[in-house]
Chain A
């Protein structure tokens, strides 16, 4: 059951290539909050959020593979990393989901964790969406 769920999520998730330039409303809002919090200029803040999107996609794929392989310790470490990075670039919803997934891993609730990772993927897709439309 877990394997089926995870495989599905991985297939869907890895279809986000990360090659698109991130520039949706969610992206712009995150950049604005990061600029306000850090005092960094717009160009650098955009670069940081773009880099975060690329990294988060890779992390999400790897976390799912670890869950499939029942390697929960590494999955937990990467979720912790995702949570911290999302918090640093002010991608607050992703940070919140990463925290929930970390807690789900802690109680061995694989299915809940996979569900949360799917939500993270959807948020990342949102970040990457607008440029595709442009």
Chain B
């Protein structure tokens, strides 16, 4: 099964380096790229992204804002995000982890990161997301029929209410 990952970085060279490293070491990977965090949420949903690699220091919308937006969106909150930033920027790493980042790596990429840790972190993040999707499927579907269950509809109604800032729907029973 193909795994989809998204690299969000304003530097085309950095995106390409990361892409080549991952494609060399992991099989069945489809890589998508974004040069900024604008309109990212729709893109993550429509490409069925399993994990993201996110640069922190970007113009227009920085990595922290992107991460916060993802965590607020119930469809995206579970996607593991690996953040990258300058090697000296420990505060940024700490802040990203506080905001819910899955892991981090520093730029420029060390030999160890390129050959070992980055591909393995990506692989582990994908596996985590797939397990999470499996659990999510079981909790929102009826085992016998495969149809959505009551919990799914209740949470979906809550989501619609929050989105429309209304409470048109009421639960009975």
Interface of A toward B, CB cutoff 8 Å:
36-40, 44, 48, 51-52, 55, 74, 77, 80-81, 83-89, 95
B70 to nearest A CB, angstroms? 22
Q: Is the CB of A84 within 8 A of B114?
A: no
Q: Is the contact region of chain A dominated by helix, strand, or loop, or is it mixed?
A: helix
Q: Is the CB of A44 within 8 A of B86?
A: no
> What are the residues of chain A within 8 A of B109 when measuring CB–CB?
38, 87-88
B:2-50 near A, CB below 8 Å = 10-14, 16-17, 20-21, 24
- Give the residue name and chain of the B residue nearest to A81 (CB): B11
> What are the residues of chain A within 8 A of B17 when measuring CB–CB?
38, 48, 85, 88-89
B84 to nearest A CB, angstroms? 9
Q: Is the CB of B13 within 8 A of A85?
A: yes
> What are the residues of chain A within 8 A of B86 when measuring CB–CB?
80, 83-84
Partner of B59, one of A40, A55, A77: A77
> What are the residues of chain B within 8 A of A40 when measuring CB–CB?
20-21, 24
- Give the residue name and chain of the A residue nearest to B84 (CB): A84
Complex Cα gap A74–B114 (Å): 29
A19 to nearest B CB, angstroms? 18
List 23 contacting pairs A-B, 8 Å CB cutoff, sorted by A.
A36-B111, A37-B111, A37-B114, A38-B17, A38-B20, A39-B114, A44-B24, A48-B17, A51-B13, A52-B13, A55-B11, A55-B13, A74-B59, A77-B57, A81-B10, A81-B14, A84-B14, A84-B108, A85-B11, A85-B14, A87-B107, A87-B108, A88-B13
Q: Bin chain B's interface residue count.
A: 20 to 34
B150 within 8 A of partner (CB)? no
Q: Is the contact region of chain B dominated by helix, strand, or loop, or is it mixed?
A: helix
Interface of B toward A, CB cutoff 8 Å:
10-14, 16-17, 20-21, 24, 57, 59, 86, 107-111, 114-115
Complex Cα gap A74–B107 (Å): 19
Q: Is the CB of B20 within 8 A of A89?
A: no
> What are the residues of chain B within 8 A of A84 when measuring CB–CB?
11, 14, 86, 107-108
Known contacts A48-B17, A51-B16, A74-B59; decide if A39 and B11 are in contact (CB<8 Å).
no
> What are the residues of chain B within 8 A of A51 when measuring CB–CB?
12-13, 16
Complex Cα gap A85–B109 (Å): 10
Known contacts A51-B12, A52-B13, A84-B11; decide if A39 and B24 are in contact (CB<8 Å).
yes
